[in-house]
């Protein structure tokens, strides 16, 4: 059996938040924890730095925050890592 190489270089930038919210609800995240997580992503603003110039900030509706300690967890929820066992059981 061969190996599979997966490039996760820009993965955090392209996560679809609605998928993350769906998964969190599916796994029982509700109440204050739900409110805190959702509020972290309600008004995300970003900018781009290129050649030592920084763009005006803009609204960002995709991805999770780079360097945020909670982002790897949100990444795993988006990538369905919690569903791997369920997927293999169905075979």
Q: What is the pLDDT of residue 35?
A: 93
Task: State which residues form the domain around 30.
Answer: 11-89
Q: In this structure, is residue 37 part of a structural domain?
A: yes
- How many other β-carbons are positioned within 10 Å of the β-carbon of residue 70? 12
The pTM (predicted TM-score) of the whole model is 0.69
Q: DSSP assignment, residue 45?
A: E
Q: In this structure, is residue 2 part of a structural domain?
A: no
CA atoms of 37 and 68, how far apart (whole Å):
12
CA atoms of 1 and 64, how far apart (whole Å):
34
User: Domains in the chain: how many in total?
Assistant: 1
Q: In this structure, is residue 3 part of a structural domain?
A: no
Q: DSSP assignment, residue 80?
A: T
Q: What is the pLDDT of residue 82?
A: 55
Judged against a pLDDT cut of 70, whether residue 1 lies above it is answered with no
Convert the pLDDT of each residue in 30-59 to its tens digit. Answer: 999 999 999 999 988 888 899 999 999 999
């Amino acid at each position: 059996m061969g190996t599979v190489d997966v490039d996760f270089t820009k993965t955090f930038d392209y996560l679809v938040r609605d998928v993350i919210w769906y998964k969190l609800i599916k796994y029982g995240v509700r109440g204050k924890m739900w409110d805190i997580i959702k509020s972290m992503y309600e008004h995300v603003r970003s900018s781009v730095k290129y050649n030592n110039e920084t763009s005006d900030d803009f609204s960002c509706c995709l991805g999770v925050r780079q360097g945020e300690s909670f982002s790897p967890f949100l990444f795993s929820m988006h990538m369905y890592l919690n569903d791997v066992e369920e997927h293999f059981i169905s075979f």
